[in-house]
Structure 1
Amino acid sequence: MRQTLFAFIKNFRNFLWRIFHKDNPKLPYIIIIIVAFIIVVGGLNLFIELTETLKEEMLAQYDQQISHFITSFRTPSLTEYFIFMTNVGDIYGYLVVLILALIISLVFFKNWRYIAQTLLVLLLASISNTMLKRFIDRARPGVEHLVSVETLSYPSGHAMSAMAFYGFLIYLFYTFKMNSWLKYITIILLLFVILSIGISRIYLGVHYPSDIAGGYIAGAIWVFFCILIFNLVEVFRRDPNT
Protein backbone atom coordinates (compact mmCIF):
# COMPACT_ATOMS: atom_id res chain seq x y z
CA MET A 1 0.00 0.00 0.00
CA ARG A 2 2.82 2.37 0.92
CA GLN A 3 4.65 1.67 -2.34
CA THR A 4 1.46 2.32 -4.31
CA LEU A 5 0.99 5.65 -2.52
CA PHE A 6 4.60 6.68 -3.16
CA ALA A 7 4.27 5.71 -6.82
CA PHE A 8 1.10 7.79 -7.15
CA ILE A 9 2.76 10.82 -5.53
CA LYS A 10 5.79 10.44 -7.80
CA ASN A 11 3.67 10.15 -10.95
CA PHE A 12 1.53 13.12 -9.91
CA ARG A 13 4.64 15.20 -9.23
CA ASN A 14 6.06 14.31 -12.65
CA PHE A 15 2.74 15.21 -14.25
CA LEU A 16 2.74 18.65 -12.58
CA TRP A 17 6.36 19.16 -13.60
CA ARG A 18 5.56 18.44 -17.25
CA ILE A 19 2.54 20.74 -17.17
CA PHE A 20 4.11 23.66 -15.31
CA HIS A 21 7.63 23.46 -16.67
CA LYS A 22 8.74 26.95 -17.67
CA ASP A 23 9.51 25.77 -21.22
CA ASN A 24 6.05 24.31 -21.70
CA PRO A 25 4.39 26.36 -24.53
CA LYS A 26 0.95 25.49 -23.14
CA LEU A 27 1.71 26.91 -19.68
CA PRO A 28 0.11 30.38 -20.22
CA TYR A 29 -3.10 28.77 -21.51
CA ILE A 30 -3.22 26.30 -18.60
CA ILE A 31 -2.78 29.08 -16.03
CA ILE A 32 -5.56 31.10 -17.69
CA ILE A 33 -7.82 28.02 -17.68
CA ILE A 34 -7.28 27.44 -13.95
CA VAL A 35 -7.85 31.09 -13.03
CA ALA A 36 -10.94 31.35 -15.26
CA PHE A 37 -12.42 28.17 -13.76
CA ILE A 38 -11.97 29.48 -10.20
CA ILE A 39 -13.58 32.83 -11.12
CA VAL A 40 -16.52 31.12 -12.89
CA VAL A 41 -17.25 28.95 -9.86
CA GLY A 42 -16.91 31.92 -7.48
CA GLY A 43 -19.05 34.11 -9.75
CA LEU A 44 -21.84 31.53 -9.94
CA ASN A 45 -21.90 31.26 -6.17
CA LEU A 46 -21.99 35.07 -5.82
CA PHE A 47 -24.80 35.41 -8.38
CA ILE A 48 -26.89 32.76 -6.60
CA GLU A 49 -26.32 34.43 -3.23
CA LEU A 50 -27.41 37.82 -4.61
CA THR A 51 -30.46 36.36 -6.34
CA GLU A 52 -31.59 34.69 -3.12
CA THR A 53 -31.56 38.05 -1.29
CA LEU A 54 -33.67 39.99 -3.82
CA LYS A 55 -36.77 39.98 -1.61
CA GLU A 56 -34.97 40.83 1.62
CA GLU A 57 -35.72 44.18 3.25
CA MET A 58 -32.06 45.10 3.72
CA LEU A 59 -31.34 44.80 -0.01
CA ALA A 60 -34.44 46.87 -0.79
CA GLN A 61 -33.12 49.62 1.49
CA TYR A 62 -29.71 49.62 -0.20
CA ASP A 63 -31.39 49.73 -3.63
CA GLN A 64 -33.51 52.68 -2.59
CA GLN A 65 -30.65 54.63 -1.03
CA ILE A 66 -28.27 54.13 -3.96
CA SER A 67 -30.98 54.89 -6.53
CA HIS A 68 -31.98 58.06 -4.72
CA PHE A 69 -28.35 59.18 -4.53
CA ILE A 70 -27.74 58.64 -8.26
CA THR A 71 -31.02 60.18 -9.46
CA SER A 72 -30.41 63.23 -7.24
CA PHE A 73 -27.77 64.32 -9.78
CA ARG A 74 -30.25 64.53 -12.68
CA THR A 75 -29.63 67.46 -14.99
CA PRO A 76 -30.56 67.93 -18.68
CA SER A 77 -26.95 67.52 -19.86
CA LEU A 78 -26.30 64.48 -17.65
CA THR A 79 -29.56 62.92 -18.82
CA GLU A 80 -28.45 63.31 -22.43
CA TYR A 81 -25.12 61.66 -21.60
CA PHE A 82 -26.68 58.67 -19.87
CA ILE A 83 -29.27 58.20 -22.62
CA PHE A 84 -26.36 58.11 -25.07
CA MET A 85 -24.50 55.57 -22.92
CA THR A 86 -27.57 53.37 -22.54
CA ASN A 87 -27.83 53.38 -26.35
CA VAL A 88 -24.17 52.36 -26.57
CA GLY A 89 -25.20 49.31 -24.52
CA ASP A 90 -28.07 48.48 -26.87
CA ILE A 91 -28.15 46.43 -30.07
CA TYR A 92 -27.32 49.33 -32.41
CA GLY A 93 -24.38 50.36 -30.26
CA TYR A 94 -22.95 46.85 -30.41
CA LEU A 95 -23.44 46.69 -34.18
CA VAL A 96 -21.41 49.88 -34.65
CA VAL A 97 -18.62 48.64 -32.36
CA LEU A 98 -18.60 45.19 -34.01
CA ILE A 99 -18.28 46.71 -37.49
CA LEU A 100 -15.39 48.95 -36.35
CA ALA A 101 -13.73 46.02 -34.56
CA LEU A 102 -14.14 43.80 -37.63
CA ILE A 103 -12.45 46.40 -39.84
CA ILE A 104 -9.57 46.81 -37.36
CA SER A 105 -9.17 43.01 -37.02
CA LEU A 106 -9.04 42.44 -40.77
CA VAL A 107 -6.70 45.37 -41.45
CA PHE A 108 -4.24 45.02 -38.55
CA PHE A 109 -4.57 41.42 -37.33
CA LYS A 110 -5.65 39.74 -40.59
CA ASN A 111 -7.95 37.59 -38.47
CA TRP A 112 -11.71 37.63 -37.82
CA ARG A 113 -11.51 34.99 -35.06
CA TYR A 114 -11.50 37.61 -32.30
CA ILE A 115 -14.73 39.15 -33.61
CA ALA A 116 -16.39 35.74 -33.82
CA GLN A 117 -15.39 35.02 -30.21
CA THR A 118 -16.63 38.40 -28.98
CA LEU A 119 -19.92 37.99 -30.82
CA LEU A 120 -20.38 34.52 -29.30
CA VAL A 121 -19.86 35.90 -25.78
CA LEU A 122 -22.43 38.64 -26.44
CA LEU A 123 -24.98 36.18 -27.86
CA LEU A 124 -24.59 33.81 -24.90
CA ALA A 125 -25.05 36.68 -22.45
CA SER A 126 -28.10 38.06 -24.27
CA ILE A 127 -29.87 34.71 -24.60
CA SER A 128 -29.19 33.69 -21.00
CA ASN A 129 -30.32 37.12 -19.78
CA THR A 130 -33.73 36.66 -21.39
CA MET A 131 -34.06 33.25 -19.73
CA LEU A 132 -32.98 34.56 -16.31
CA LYS A 133 -35.39 37.49 -16.47
CA ARG A 134 -38.33 35.19 -17.15
CA PHE A 135 -37.28 32.71 -14.47
CA ILE A 136 -36.63 35.29 -11.70
CA ASP A 137 -39.54 37.56 -12.76
CA ARG A 138 -38.62 40.78 -10.97
CA ALA A 139 -40.64 43.90 -11.81
CA ARG A 140 -39.04 47.21 -12.78
CA PRO A 141 -38.69 50.03 -10.20
CA GLY A 142 -41.91 51.93 -9.64
CA VAL A 143 -40.40 55.33 -10.33
CA GLU A 144 -40.33 57.63 -13.36
CA HIS A 145 -38.62 55.99 -16.35
CA LEU A 146 -36.70 58.39 -18.59
CA VAL A 147 -36.54 55.78 -21.36
CA SER A 148 -39.04 53.14 -22.44
CA VAL A 149 -38.57 49.52 -21.32
CA GLU A 150 -40.53 46.39 -22.09
CA THR A 151 -38.76 43.51 -20.34
CA LEU A 152 -38.37 42.46 -16.69
CA SER A 153 -35.77 43.86 -14.32
CA TYR A 154 -33.28 41.28 -12.96
CA PRO A 155 -30.56 40.89 -14.04
CA SER A 156 -30.00 44.02 -16.10
CA GLY A 157 -29.58 43.09 -19.75
CA HIS A 158 -27.60 46.25 -20.46
CA ALA A 159 -25.18 45.60 -17.58
CA MET A 160 -24.84 41.91 -18.41
CA SER A 161 -24.24 42.48 -22.13
CA ALA A 162 -21.86 45.38 -21.49
CA MET A 163 -19.77 43.30 -19.10
CA ALA A 164 -19.76 40.34 -21.50
CA PHE A 165 -19.02 42.31 -24.67
CA TYR A 166 -16.69 45.04 -23.49
CA GLY A 167 -15.25 42.81 -20.78
CA PHE A 168 -14.15 40.26 -23.37
CA LEU A 169 -12.69 43.07 -25.48
CA ILE A 170 -10.66 44.06 -22.41
CA TYR A 171 -9.30 40.50 -22.21
CA LEU A 172 -8.39 40.57 -25.90
CA PHE A 173 -6.63 43.93 -25.67
CA TYR A 174 -4.75 42.68 -22.60
CA THR A 175 -3.41 39.72 -24.61
CA PHE A 176 -2.51 41.75 -27.72
CA LYS A 177 1.12 42.68 -28.33
CA MET A 178 0.85 46.43 -28.80
CA ASN A 179 1.98 49.74 -27.35
CA SER A 180 1.54 49.54 -23.58
CA TRP A 181 0.13 53.07 -23.23
CA LEU A 182 -2.42 52.48 -25.98
CA LYS A 183 -3.35 49.12 -24.50
CA TYR A 184 -4.03 50.41 -20.97
CA ILE A 185 -5.76 53.58 -22.14
CA THR A 186 -8.11 51.40 -24.20
CA ILE A 187 -8.74 49.09 -21.24
CA ILE A 188 -9.52 52.04 -18.95
CA LEU A 189 -11.86 53.48 -21.59
CA LEU A 190 -13.71 50.16 -21.90
CA LEU A 191 -14.03 49.91 -18.12
CA PHE A 192 -15.49 53.41 -18.09
CA VAL A 193 -18.01 52.39 -20.78
CA ILE A 194 -19.09 49.34 -18.75
CA LEU A 195 -19.50 51.45 -15.61
CA SER A 196 -21.36 54.23 -17.43
CA ILE A 197 -23.82 51.83 -19.05
CA GLY A 198 -24.63 50.28 -15.68
CA ILE A 199 -25.06 53.62 -13.91
CA SER A 200 -27.19 54.91 -16.79
CA ARG A 201 -29.83 52.27 -16.10
CA ILE A 202 -30.16 53.38 -12.47
CA TYR A 203 -30.02 57.06 -13.40
CA LEU A 204 -32.80 56.62 -15.97
CA GLY A 205 -34.97 54.89 -13.38
CA VAL A 206 -35.33 51.55 -15.16
CA HIS A 207 -33.24 49.33 -12.87
CA TYR A 208 -32.41 48.73 -9.23
CA PRO A 209 -28.70 48.80 -8.32
CA SER A 210 -28.95 45.09 -7.47
CA ASP A 211 -30.12 44.48 -11.06
CA ILE A 212 -26.91 46.08 -12.28
CA ALA A 213 -24.78 44.09 -9.83
CA GLY A 214 -26.44 40.85 -10.93
CA GLY A 215 -25.94 41.76 -14.58
CA TYR A 216 -22.26 42.55 -14.05
CA ILE A 217 -21.68 39.26 -12.22
CA ALA A 218 -23.54 37.19 -14.81
CA GLY A 219 -21.75 38.94 -17.67
CA ALA A 220 -18.36 38.37 -16.03
CA ILE A 221 -19.20 34.68 -15.61
CA TRP A 222 -19.74 34.39 -19.37
CA VAL A 223 -16.49 36.27 -20.08
CA PHE A 224 -14.38 33.94 -17.95
CA PHE A 225 -16.28 30.83 -19.02
CA CYS A 226 -15.58 31.65 -22.67
CA ILE A 227 -11.95 32.48 -21.87
CA LEU A 228 -11.70 29.04 -20.27
CA ILE A 229 -13.23 27.29 -23.30
CA PHE A 230 -11.25 29.23 -25.90
CA ASN A 231 -7.98 28.50 -24.10
CA LEU A 232 -8.85 24.81 -23.76
CA VAL A 233 -9.43 24.73 -27.51
CA GLU A 234 -6.05 26.40 -28.01
CA VAL A 235 -4.30 23.83 -25.80
CA PHE A 236 -5.77 20.91 -27.76
CA ARG A 237 -5.12 22.68 -31.06
CA ARG A 238 -1.45 22.99 -30.19
CA ASP A 239 -1.26 19.36 -29.09
CA PRO A 240 -4.20 17.07 -30.06
CA ASN A 241 -2.72 14.33 -27.87
CA THR A 242 -2.99 16.42 -24.69
Structure 2
Amino acid sequence: MEIADDYKEAEIRHFDSVVIAAVQGHVSPFWTKVMVSITFLGSVRWIMILSIATALILLMFKHRILCLYVIVAVSLGGAFNWILKSIFHRQRPDIEPIIEEQGYSFPSGHSMGSFIFYGALAFILFKLYQNRWAKIAGVFLVSILVLSIGISRIYLGVHYPSDIVGGYTAGAAWTFICITGYSFLDYRLKKKLE
Protein backbone atom coordinates (compact mmCIF):
# COMPACT_ATOMS: atom_id res chain seq x y z
CA MET A 1 0.00 0.00 0.00
CA GLU A 2 2.86 2.35 0.87
CA ILE A 3 4.53 1.79 -2.51
CA ALA A 4 1.22 2.24 -4.33
CA ASP A 5 0.41 5.46 -2.47
CA ASP A 6 3.84 6.93 -3.17
CA TYR A 7 4.51 5.70 -6.72
CA LYS A 8 4.32 9.25 -8.09
CA GLU A 9 6.75 10.52 -5.48
CA ALA A 10 10.30 11.49 -6.46
CA GLU A 11 11.97 8.68 -4.46
CA ILE A 12 9.94 5.95 -6.17
CA ARG A 13 10.47 7.50 -9.62
CA HIS A 14 14.20 7.75 -8.94
CA PHE A 15 14.35 4.12 -7.72
CA ASP A 16 12.45 2.95 -10.81
CA SER A 17 14.60 4.89 -13.28
CA VAL A 18 17.90 3.77 -11.73
CA VAL A 19 16.92 0.09 -11.72
CA ILE A 20 15.42 0.22 -15.23
CA ALA A 21 18.61 1.82 -16.56
CA ALA A 22 20.77 -0.85 -14.88
CA VAL A 23 18.65 -3.80 -16.09
CA GLN A 24 17.89 -2.54 -19.59
CA GLY A 25 21.49 -1.46 -20.11
CA HIS A 26 22.24 -5.07 -21.02
CA VAL A 27 19.61 -5.64 -23.73
CA SER A 28 20.82 -8.04 -26.42
CA PRO A 29 19.25 -10.77 -28.58
CA PHE A 30 20.75 -13.47 -26.30
CA TRP A 31 19.45 -11.91 -23.06
CA THR A 32 16.07 -11.22 -24.63
CA LYS A 33 15.64 -14.95 -25.40
CA VAL A 34 16.71 -15.82 -21.85
CA MET A 35 14.36 -13.27 -20.28
CA VAL A 36 11.37 -14.30 -22.40
CA SER A 37 11.93 -17.91 -21.25
CA ILE A 38 12.28 -16.86 -17.60
CA THR A 39 9.20 -14.65 -17.70
CA PHE A 40 7.16 -17.60 -19.02
CA LEU A 41 7.94 -19.44 -15.75
CA GLY A 42 5.91 -16.77 -13.94
CA SER A 43 3.03 -16.64 -16.42
CA VAL A 44 -0.55 -17.43 -15.39
CA ARG A 45 -0.69 -20.35 -17.84
CA TRP A 46 2.52 -22.00 -16.57
CA ILE A 47 1.72 -21.48 -12.89
CA MET A 48 -1.80 -22.91 -13.37
CA ILE A 49 -0.38 -26.00 -15.12
CA LEU A 50 2.18 -26.53 -12.35
CA SER A 51 -0.40 -25.84 -9.63
CA ILE A 52 -2.80 -28.46 -11.01
CA ALA A 53 0.04 -30.97 -11.39
CA THR A 54 1.28 -30.25 -7.84
CA ALA A 55 -2.24 -30.55 -6.39
CA LEU A 56 -2.82 -33.88 -8.18
CA ILE A 57 0.52 -35.29 -6.97
CA LEU A 58 -0.22 -34.22 -3.39
CA LEU A 59 -3.69 -35.76 -3.62
CA MET A 60 -2.25 -38.99 -5.03
CA PHE A 61 0.06 -39.26 -2.00
CA LYS A 62 -2.79 -38.39 0.37
CA HIS A 63 -1.51 -34.95 1.39
CA ARG A 64 -5.01 -33.49 1.22
CA ILE A 65 -4.43 -30.37 3.33
CA LEU A 66 -1.31 -29.43 1.37
CA CYS A 67 -3.29 -30.01 -1.85
CA LEU A 68 -5.98 -27.63 -0.56
CA TYR A 69 -3.27 -25.15 0.45
CA VAL A 70 -1.87 -25.02 -3.11
CA ILE A 71 -5.32 -24.64 -4.70
CA VAL A 72 -6.43 -21.87 -2.33
CA ALA A 73 -3.09 -20.02 -2.27
CA VAL A 74 -2.72 -19.88 -6.06
CA SER A 75 -6.34 -19.37 -7.15
CA LEU A 76 -7.30 -16.80 -4.51
CA GLY A 77 -3.84 -15.21 -4.83
CA GLY A 78 -4.62 -14.57 -8.50
CA ALA A 79 -7.95 -13.02 -7.55
CA PHE A 80 -6.18 -10.87 -4.93
CA ASN A 81 -3.76 -9.59 -7.60
CA TRP A 82 -6.65 -8.72 -9.91
CA ILE A 83 -8.36 -6.79 -7.08
CA LEU A 84 -5.17 -4.85 -6.29
CA LYS A 85 -4.62 -3.96 -9.96
CA SER A 86 -8.21 -2.75 -10.27
CA ILE A 87 -7.81 -0.59 -7.15
CA PHE A 88 -4.55 1.13 -8.13
CA HIS A 89 -4.98 1.45 -11.93
CA ARG A 90 -1.28 2.06 -12.50
CA GLN A 91 -0.38 2.23 -16.17
CA ARG A 92 2.52 0.23 -17.54
CA PRO A 93 5.90 1.93 -18.20
CA ASP A 94 5.92 4.36 -21.13
CA ILE A 95 9.25 3.05 -22.41
CA GLU A 96 9.52 0.85 -25.50
CA PRO A 97 8.56 -2.66 -24.28
CA ILE A 98 10.25 -5.71 -25.79
CA ILE A 99 7.01 -7.70 -25.46
CA GLU A 100 3.40 -6.52 -25.31
CA GLU A 101 1.29 -6.86 -22.16
CA GLN A 102 -2.26 -5.83 -21.37
CA GLY A 103 -3.82 -4.58 -18.17
CA TYR A 104 -2.57 -2.55 -15.27
CA SER A 105 0.97 -2.59 -13.94
CA PHE A 106 0.80 -2.53 -10.12
CA PRO A 107 1.41 -4.94 -8.50
CA SER A 108 3.20 -7.24 -10.94
CA GLY A 109 1.12 -10.40 -11.42
CA HIS A 110 4.17 -12.40 -12.49
CA SER A 111 6.09 -11.39 -9.37
CA MET A 112 3.18 -11.92 -7.02
CA GLY A 113 2.08 -15.19 -8.63
CA SER A 114 5.59 -16.65 -8.74
CA PHE A 115 6.19 -15.68 -5.10
CA ILE A 116 2.94 -17.40 -4.08
CA PHE A 117 3.35 -20.57 -6.17
CA TYR A 118 7.08 -21.17 -5.84
CA GLY A 119 6.80 -20.13 -2.19
CA ALA A 120 4.14 -22.83 -1.83
CA LEU A 121 6.57 -25.37 -3.31
CA ALA A 122 9.21 -24.31 -0.77
CA PHE A 123 6.64 -24.64 2.03
CA ILE A 124 5.69 -28.14 0.83
CA LEU A 125 9.38 -29.06 0.75
CA PHE A 126 9.70 -27.94 4.38
CA LYS A 127 6.63 -29.94 5.41
CA LEU A 128 7.49 -33.18 3.62
CA TYR A 129 11.30 -33.47 3.71
CA GLN A 130 13.50 -33.92 6.74
CA ASN A 131 16.85 -33.30 5.04
CA ARG A 132 18.03 -29.83 6.08
CA TRP A 133 20.26 -29.34 3.03
CA ALA A 134 17.44 -30.26 0.65
CA LYS A 135 15.29 -27.59 2.32
CA ILE A 136 18.04 -24.97 2.10
CA ALA A 137 18.77 -25.83 -1.55
CA GLY A 138 15.07 -25.73 -2.39
CA VAL A 139 14.54 -22.31 -0.81
CA PHE A 140 17.70 -20.97 -2.50
CA LEU A 141 16.62 -22.18 -5.95
CA VAL A 142 13.07 -20.87 -5.48
CA SER A 143 14.42 -17.47 -4.35
CA ILE A 144 16.71 -17.20 -7.40
CA LEU A 145 13.86 -18.18 -9.74
CA VAL A 146 11.39 -15.69 -8.24
CA LEU A 147 14.00 -12.91 -8.31
CA SER A 148 14.86 -13.75 -11.94
CA ILE A 149 11.20 -13.60 -12.95
CA GLY A 150 10.93 -10.12 -11.44
CA ILE A 151 14.08 -8.95 -13.23
CA SER A 152 12.77 -10.37 -16.51
CA ARG A 153 9.67 -8.18 -16.26
CA ILE A 154 11.82 -5.06 -15.88
CA TYR A 155 14.15 -6.14 -18.69
CA LEU A 156 11.20 -6.72 -21.04
CA GLY A 157 9.88 -3.21 -20.28
CA VAL A 158 6.46 -4.25 -19.01
CA HIS A 159 6.85 -3.31 -15.32
CA TYR A 160 8.41 -0.68 -13.14
CA PRO A 161 10.75 -2.06 -10.44
CA SER A 162 8.30 -0.75 -7.83
CA ASP A 163 5.62 -2.99 -9.44
CA ILE A 164 7.92 -5.94 -8.81
CA VAL A 165 8.56 -4.94 -5.18
CA GLY A 166 4.80 -4.46 -4.74
CA GLY A 167 4.16 -7.92 -6.23
CA TYR A 168 6.68 -9.57 -3.93
CA THR A 169 5.29 -7.74 -0.90
CA ALA A 170 1.66 -8.63 -1.69
CA GLY A 171 2.75 -12.22 -2.49
CA ALA A 172 4.58 -12.48 0.84
CA ALA A 173 1.56 -11.14 2.73
CA TRP A 174 -0.79 -13.57 0.98
CA THR A 175 1.64 -16.48 1.54
CA PHE A 176 1.78 -15.61 5.26
CA ILE A 177 -2.04 -15.61 5.44
CA CYS A 178 -2.24 -18.98 3.64
CA ILE A 179 0.44 -20.60 5.81
CA THR A 180 -1.35 -19.32 8.92
CA GLY A 181 -4.62 -20.79 7.62
CA TYR A 182 -2.93 -24.08 6.78
CA SER A 183 -1.33 -24.29 10.25
CA PHE A 184 -4.67 -23.58 11.96
CA LEU A 185 -6.50 -26.21 9.89
CA ASP A 186 -3.72 -28.76 10.38
CA TYR A 187 -3.77 -28.15 14.15
CA ARG A 188 -7.57 -28.53 14.33
CA LEU A 189 -7.53 -31.77 12.36
CA LYS A 190 -4.75 -33.23 14.51
CA LYS A 191 -6.72 -32.26 17.64
CA LYS A 192 -9.78 -34.10 16.32
CA LEU A 193 -7.72 -37.25 15.73
CA GLU A 194 -6.33 -37.28 19.29
Q: What TM-score does the superposition give when structure 2 sets the normalisation length?
A: 0.90
Of 203, 207, 210, the residue aligned with 2:155 is 203
Of 69, 79, 97, the residue aligned with 2:50 is 97
1:80-91 map, 5 Å = 80-91=33-44
CA distance in 1, matches of 2:62, 2:190: 20
Q: Which runs of 4+ in 1 moved over 4 A?
A: none
Of 135, 138, 142, the residue aligned with 2:90 is 138
Q: Does 1:234 align with 2:186?
A: yes
CA distance in 2, matches of 1:207, 1:132: 15
Of 66, 83, 106, the residue aligned with 2:19 is 66
- Matched-pair contact (CA < 8 Å) for 1:156–1:212: yes
The C-alpha deviation readout for 1:93-135, integer Å capped at 9, x for no partner, is: 114423553465356x443542331121111221111111111
Q: Does 1:51 align with 2:26?
A: no
**1:126 and 1:106, CA in 2 relative to 1: closer, same or farther beyond 3 A?**
closer
The C-alpha deviation readout for 1:38-78, integer Å capped at 9, x for no partner, is: xxxxxxxxxx2222211111211110111111000112111
- Matched-pair contact (CA < 8 Å) for 1:124–1:222: no
Point out the more displaced range, 170-179 or 91-100: 91-100
- Whichever residue aligns with residue 115 of structure 2, its letter is M
**1:49 and 1:65, CA in 2 relative to 1: closer, same or farther beyond 3 A?**
same
CA distance in 2, matches of 1:55, 1:170: 35
1:36-185 map, 5 Å = 48-102=1-55, 104-105=57-58, 109-185=61-137
State the 1:236 CA deviation. Answer: 1.9
Give % identity: 33
Q: Gapped runs of 5+ residues in structure 1?
A: 1-47
CA distance in 2, matches of 1:95, 1:160: 14
Point out the more displaced range, 182-191 or 218-227: 182-191
- Whichever residue aligns with residue 68 of structure 1, its letter is A
SS of the aligned residue for 1:238 comes to helix
The C-alpha deviation readout for 1:194-235, integer Å capped at 9, x for no partner, is: 111111100100000000000000001110101111111122
CA distance in 1, matches of 2:113, 2:12: 23
Aligned to 1:222: 174
Q: What TM-score does the superposition give when structure 1 sets the normalisation length?
A: 0.73
SS of the aligned residue for 1:207 comes to coil
